[in-house]
Chains A and B, each alone.
Chain A
Amino acid sequence: MTEDQQRNAERVARGLKRRYRAERRFRFYGLLAVAFGLLSVAVLFYDIISKGAGAFRQTYIELELHYDPDVLGVYDLGDDSQVALGDYSGVIRAALQQRFPEYGSRNDRRELGKLISSGEGFDLRDRLVANPALLGQKETLWLVADDDIDTYFKSLGDREGAFTGRVSETLQNVVKVLADGGQIALRLNTNFFSKGDSREPEQAGIWGAAVGSFYTLLITLGLSFPIGVAAAIYLEEFAPRNRWTDLIEVNINNLAAVPSIIFGLLGLAIFINFFEVPRSIPVVGGLVLTLMTLPTIIISSRAAIKAVPPSIREAAIGIGASPMQVVLHHVLPLAMPGMLTGAIIGMAQALGETAPLLMIGMVAFIVDIPTGPASPATVLPVQIFLWSDSPERAFVEKTSAAIMVLLAFLIVMNTAAVWLRKRLERRW
């Protein structure tokens, strides 16, 4: 061994410790990055769930109601104008009076009126119209409490003390009396799953938005899947390799990365301004989302077609099939699971999309449940956006709960996609 080599070996040995330290440090940074990613997932989900879990239960108050025709001003339920003008909240007010005779002053009576949601009168009307025999009878019902009461009642057990907000001393005492008698309780929030939007948090539900999302996605799927598959078949199996098909290919890849809000501008300028289609309807939303998801579906369908081995095609051609028969009878059925997986992922993307729908007016305040693809509607993510803007504290809970419902749908769809891929996709 020459002296030179020896010196080099010593130098390497001296540096080894430092290099191993650098190695450990590098590895630690990597671990840190992974931990940060996992932590973000955990914090995000914990935050949403802890904020929204309460919204699935709602405060209800038990009252004995007397459907007194004199209070209602309704004597004949067959008479539409009487039914329309009836004072249904009067029945609730009278029942509250009767339950708390000690709160007789004008001020106290007004306070008592804040106990029950102002939307409950309409539910009483529907109930009376459905059972006309109830008129003049007494009935004990659980009524939805106002959102302030709801927030207060839910926060009673909190460590940092209850959130009183707009709830007065009088009402706090009333709630205490009701709680002692077991007449105020948390029960399953049926309004949340069966109603449309409302200005009153306790009456607001996601069913309207869910139906709107359903119609929008129906249109999106109905258009984007056939068009996407057809485009993929053409590009993979029939298109000549030339500058034009290159252009189409580059174009599709670029479109997949265009910001979604740009598609909203397209929808606004073309569908609404040029073709004068009405705003806020699922048809336009579906069209815009179709254009947006099309690149995703084309790209995944092409991948699925590419995965079908050439031997299948050659065998089919060998026994005399035409190119179109090869594709329709052999390639397409074999590529279908992959294409469906891509379509589900595209639909999940479309379900969570908000920005382009804001542009085409699906952001309106719509109380009624949409009846078809051409009736004004909103969709789940837009509903979340609208509620998150509302000042009432109870809407924070509702927003988080709506997010949980949306995420549940997305998880189901993505799980279905993974399952489909594992179950049906063949390895060649």
Chain B
Amino acid sequence: MHTANLLLVLGAMIVAAYYLARGRSLAMARPLGGIRHLHSLPFYYGLRAAIWCGVPSLTLLVLWLLFNDPFITAAVLAGLPESLQPVTVAEENLTLGTIRNLATGALSTEAADPALVAASERLVTLEAMGSRIIAAAVLSLGLVGALVAWFRMSPQLRARQQVEKVFKVVLLLCSLVAIFTTLGILLSVLFESLRFFQAVPAADFLFGTEWSPQMAIRADQAGSSGSFGAVPLFVGTLLISFIAMVVAVPVGLMSAIYLAEYANGRVRNYAKPTIEILAGVPTVVYGFFAALTVAPFIRDTGAAMGVAISSESALAAGLVMGVMIIPFVSSLADDVITAVPQSLRDGSLGLGATHSETIKKVIFPAALPGIVGGVLLAVSRAIGETMIVVMAAGLAAQLTVNPLETVTTITVQIVTLLVGDQEFDSPKTLAAFALGLMLFVVTLILNFIALHVVKKYREQYD
């Protein structure tokens, strides 16, 4: 039976189980004198039966859909004669592909090896049999579940508690998705990175100064030895992030101070949301802006002053990234500045300090931990930002701190190495995961410190 039809039948069974069990609970209640003599509302009896009918059968179906493939293919391959038995993984995929194509009719059966034709027929029968068996198993499991729920029903049954317990488990599972996401990220990145470090020593990766991830296709090929020294990428990333911070921190901080301390209500009401528009603009838009407007402008300005500036300069990408981060810094700074108690301001002003002295000497030190936390979060954003640098920064891995030259970053290299088709056993592809691991670890540490600092500071005045 087709999976969609199976789901439809199962859904009908679940609905039927709900209504039948609900009806039965009402019938049980009638001789006792109404539903107030039942332990739970009829709704819960129905829901309980639906859960008994649906949960085990659906679990079985999902497990089958996830894991049936290996069993069937193993059975098909085992039936092949000795001469056709695949040795390597690639051969196995090839043989399986041929068999699949024979089975669907994409390949003509006339020209093919009779053993393979037989295997394709076996594949078809096995798949048909498998889906018939699983349909029978799922439906009977649903029926058994519904029957169990049916026969255990009694007016004293604590149906509500049982249903609520299941609900609570579902809620718990949903909250664990976040943990599984982190684990998934860590495992997938770590696993591929370890494979990369088997091919390239970790020390070469971390401390090498030469980055050219092209692997030689032929042994005698010149110039494509494939060296994976990531230092130029780290320096490039830090350079662009530094330029971004030089723009974002002063502007974000000063505008937050001005809007929080000086501006009147009307200016604040208009200026604050307008600046925050910058936070909602997609990064690909900034990338386009950096590559087509800012970079040519900087290059032409440089040419007019007689300075040669690369058209993919770190300066252009950094400036635009800084603009992107301004609202991030300013809204975080605004939060911590407004959280400083009014009494501190009043005390300072009462002693005769001017407004700016109060801000510099009292409010700023009091808000400093929160501001530092916000800046750290902004740094982690700048390091992980991808589209601006992919579109506006270059690909050449130069080891330089000159903002007028082209540099490349970790995220740019991840994108270039992984966009398009790739094989998972070449160091070139795996290098991207090693870079991803570095990125994840660094941003995680920054975020952890930043969130900790911000949280601790918030509690201080609460």
Contacts and interface: CB of A to CB of B under 8 A. Distances in A.
A295 interface: yes
Contacts of B148: none
B280 A410 contact: yes
A353 interface: yes
Contacts of A251: 178-179, 182
A263 B251 CA distance: 30
A354 B282 contact: yes
Contact of A40 (B178, B285, B326, B381): B326
Q: Which of B171, B172, B255, B354 has the most CB of A within 10 A?
A: B171
Contacts of A355: 283, 386-387, 390, 411, 415
Contacts of A266: 181, 184-185, 188-189
A354 B284 contact: yes
Nearest to A258: B443
B89 interface: no
A168 B253 CA distance: 55
A30 B387 contact: no
Nearest to A224: B177
B181 A291 contact: yes
Given A260-B384, A270-B184, A234 B175 contact: yes
B181 A257 contact: no
Given A33-B254, A41-B275, A355-B387, A261 B414 contact: yes
Contacts of A37: 251, 255, 271, 274-275, 278, 326-327, 330
Interface string A3-29: 000000000100000011011001101
A20 B443 CA distance: 43
Contacts of B251: 33, 36-37
B319 to A, nearest CB: 10
Given A359-B418, A406-B285, A265 B385 contact: no
A289 interface: no
Given A231-B171, A250-B451, A251-B178, A263 B258 contact: no
Could you say which interface size class chain A belongs to?
A: 35 or more
Contacts of A298: 175, 178
A53 interface: no
B391 interface: yes
Nearest to B444: A254
A254 B191 contact: no
B207 interface: no
Contacts of B171: 230-231, 233-234, 238
Contact of B188 (A228, A250, A269, A403): A269
Contacts of A400: 288
Interface in A376-428: 381-382, 384-385, 388, 396, 399-400, 403, 406-407, 410, 414
A234 B175 CA distance: 7
Interface in B394-424: 411, 414-415, 418-420, 424
A322 interface: yes
Interface string A355-377: 10011010100000000000000
A257 B447 contact: yes
Contacts of B64: none
A133 interface: no
Interface in B180-212: 181-182, 184-185, 188-189, 191-192
A260 B261 CA distance: 34
Given A34-B271, A355-B387, A231 B281 contact: no
B451 A254 contact: yes
Q: Is the interface of A mostly helix, strand, loop or mixed?
A: helix
Contact of A388 (B258, B259, B287, B447): B287
A22 B175 contact: no
Interface string B277-296: 11011111101110111000
A403 B284 CA distance: 9
Contacts of B182: 251, 254-255
B24 interface: no
B106 interface: no
Contacts of B440: 258-259, 262
B178 to A, nearest CB: 5
B164 interface: yes
B97 interface: no
A258 B448 CA distance: 11
B188 A385 contact: no
Nearest to B163: A324
Nearest to A406: B282
A44 B289 contact: yes
Nearest to B167: A324
B288 A253 contact: no
B36 interface: no
A269 B193 CA distance: 11
A231 B174 contact: yes
Given A31-B258, A358-B418, A388-B287, 9 more contacts: A22-B354, A23-B357, A33-B253, A37-B271, A41-B278, A234-B175, A259-B381, A259-B411, A265-B418
Top 7 nearest A-B pairs (CB, nearest first) are A259-B384, A30-B258, A352-B282, A269-B188, A33-B254, A230-B174, A26-B356
Interface of B: 160, 164, 167-168, 170-172, 174-179, 181-182, 184-185, 188-189, 191-192, 250-255, 257-259, 261-263, 271, 274-275, 277-278, 280-285, 287-289, 291-293, 323, 326-327, 330, 352, 354-357, 359-360, 377, 380-381, 383-387, 390-391, 411, 414-415, 418-420, 424, 432-433, 436, 439-440, 443-444, 447-448, 450-451
Interface of A: 12, 19-20, 22-23, 26-27, 29-34, 36-38, 40-41, 44, 47-48, 51, 226-228, 230-231, 233-235, 238-239, 247-248, 250-255, 257-266, 268-270, 273-274, 291, 294-295, 298, 322-324, 348, 351-355, 358-359, 361, 363, 381-382, 384-385, 388, 396, 399-400, 403, 406-407, 410, 414
